[in-house]
Structure 1
Amino acid sequence: MRVLIVCTNHDSYPTKSGKTGLWLSELTHFYDLMVKRRVLVDIVSPKGGKIPIDERSLDLKDEVNLKYSEDTVFQSKINSSLSPSQIHAGEYRLIYFAGGNGAMWDFADNTELQEITRIIYENNGTVTAVCHGVSGLVNVKLSDGTLLIKDKYLTGFSNMEETLMSFVSEVPFNLEDKLKEQGAHYTKSMIPFIEFIELDERLITGQNPNSARKVASKALEELFEK
């Protein structure tokens, strides 16, 4: 049983001085549940190599983050992630797009990642994503030319959450708006930053960083109970 996790390589904002990248808990919380079930996990990024971590997400009071900060196998995977050309999509039962603001720059237009996603989905696999990671799904097309997310129920980081985080002027597009433009049925929790996930057949999405663990547990149900 193999799953593929996608992380960003993008680490900078156009004008803000702070660094962005992966939101750490969106990776560690998902990875942790997979490893506990002895699922094999590979980590890929658009360019391969080192995955930058958003400095605001380096919360070592989070026990899972702390655990993996000291895990040599995990550290090796994020310091030398695979590139899309190294991935054989047919080997994976599930793909997961982790978020962080960085994903908004290098996920949506990556045709190699779109193709990997299409193959996994059309092979009866599951497609999952959380927060800004859902941007990796906006342009995925199936073999018949339709968008994967068209008419699907899904969630992702909301306009309200972007505004509250005050990065709305910095991201290249608003995820909620883009998902609606692409024909998805976008849903969200009434209260920002509350754990919230949406399921539509083999598509599982989470709204914000607090939703990563629940996405993982639903994904494991798909992998082991179906």
Structure 2
Amino acid sequence: MKKILMILTSHEGMENTDSKTGVWLGEFTDPYYELLDHGCTITLASPAGGEPPIDPMSKLTENITESNRRFNSDVSLLASFANTKKLADIDHNDFDAVFFPGGHGPLWDLSSNTHCGRIIVEMLQAGKPIAAVCHGPAALIAAEKHKPRLLKDKKVTGFTNTEEALVMRSDNIPFKLETRLKELGADFHSALIPMTAHVEVDGLLITGQNPLSAGPTAKALLEALGVTKTSSSNSAKSL
């Protein structure tokens, strides 16, 4: 049974607007259940601990996924989500991999969180995979501060500048993820058509572009972990 650390944002404010952000629900629930249904044990953590904010837009009808509905009736997961562990208290040595869901929140907190950066660098050095989707790859910026040139020539993806313009959030964020990753030397790739699924795998680093990439990113992580046979979800749990 593989043990996965899932790190969620604690940030909900945005710039130049009263609108809120946080975790994009489907980018959490899609990979969560993909991993759970393959027998993984998943621990939820966040910088502040406790219940992470959920981006209100991800609860709109047009953004609801099957996994969102499953989450809403999953008493065990609802309890775990309301009580995520504080990131500073996490011993990353207990885990086989890390997964970063998106939502715009990571642009503020995970991109500069010392514990986040250290966990990524030390997990990679230990030969353990790191997966992130949409704005989740912002966490790699914190890792770059711990190990300069970590992203140099690494194939990555994430929410693109074009997609940022399409959702009309470009003026409400501290930086554009695609631009920043390129500035750090990453070899950034994306789907030809915005808002379609795209995943990049470069060694132990697995990144997904947008909400539709969340499930595929989790599948790529399972492949990296050598998990190919689906296990009963009754044998897995969240912490």
- Fold match by TM threshold 0.5: yes
Whole-angstrom CA distance in 1 between matches of 2:90 and 2:144: 19
Q: Which residue of 2 aligns with 1:29?
A: 30
Whole-angstrom CA distance in 1 between matches of 2:89 and 2:75: 22
Q: Aligned AA for 1:70?
A: S
Secondary structure of the residue that 2:42 maps to in structure 1? Answer: strand
1:16-40 deviation digits (Å, cap 9, x = unpaired): 2222110000000000011101101
1:64-89 deviation digits (Å, cap 9, x = unpaired): 10001111121112111111122111
Q: Give yes or no for the alignment of 1:210 onto 2:216.
A: no
Whole-angstrom CA distance in 2 between matches of 1:147 and 1:2: 28
Q: 1:128 aligns with which of 114, 126, 131?
A: 131
Q: Aligned AA for 2:101?
A: A
Secondary structure of the residue that 1:224 maps to in structure 2? Answer: coil
Q: Which residue of 2 aligns with 1:10?
A: 11
Q: How does 1:86-165 map to 2 (within 5 A)?
A: 86-141=89-144, 145-165=147-167
**Contact preservation (8 Å) 2:11, 2:108:** yes
Q: Which residue of 2 aligns with 1:62?
A: 65
Whole-angstrom CA distance in 2 between matches of 1:12 and 1:150: 31
Secondary structure of the residue that 1:173 maps to in structure 2? Answer: coil
1:59 deviates by 4.6
Secondary structure of the residue that 1:3 maps to in structure 2? Answer: strand
Q: Aligned AA for 1:114?
A: G
Secondary structure of the residue that 1:217 maps to in structure 2? Answer: helix
1:141 deviates by 4.0
Moved more, 5-14 or 19-28: 5-14
Whole-angstrom CA distance in 2 between matches of 1:55 and 1:35: 25
Q: 1:174 aligns with which of 165, 176, 182?
A: 176
1:14 deviates by 2.3
Secondary structure of the residue that 1:204 maps to in structure 2? Answer: strand
Q: Which residue of 1 aligns with 2:237?
A: none
Whole-angstrom CA distance in 2 between matches of 1:192 and 1:20: 21
Instruction: List structure 1 runs of 4+ shifted beyond 6 angstroms.
Output: none
Whole-angstrom CA distance in 1 between matches of 2:98 and 2:31: 11
- Normalising by structure 1, we get a TM-score of 0.95
- Normalising by structure 2, we get a TM-score of 0.90
1:94 deviates by 0.8
Secondary structure of the residue that 2:43 maps to in structure 1? Answer: strand
Q: Aligned AA for 1:10?
A: H
Q: Which residue of 2 aligns with 1:19?
A: 20
Whole-angstrom CA distance in 2 between matches of 1:139 and 1:23: 20
* Higher RCO (CA < 8 A, seq sep 6+): 2
1:147 deviates by 3.3
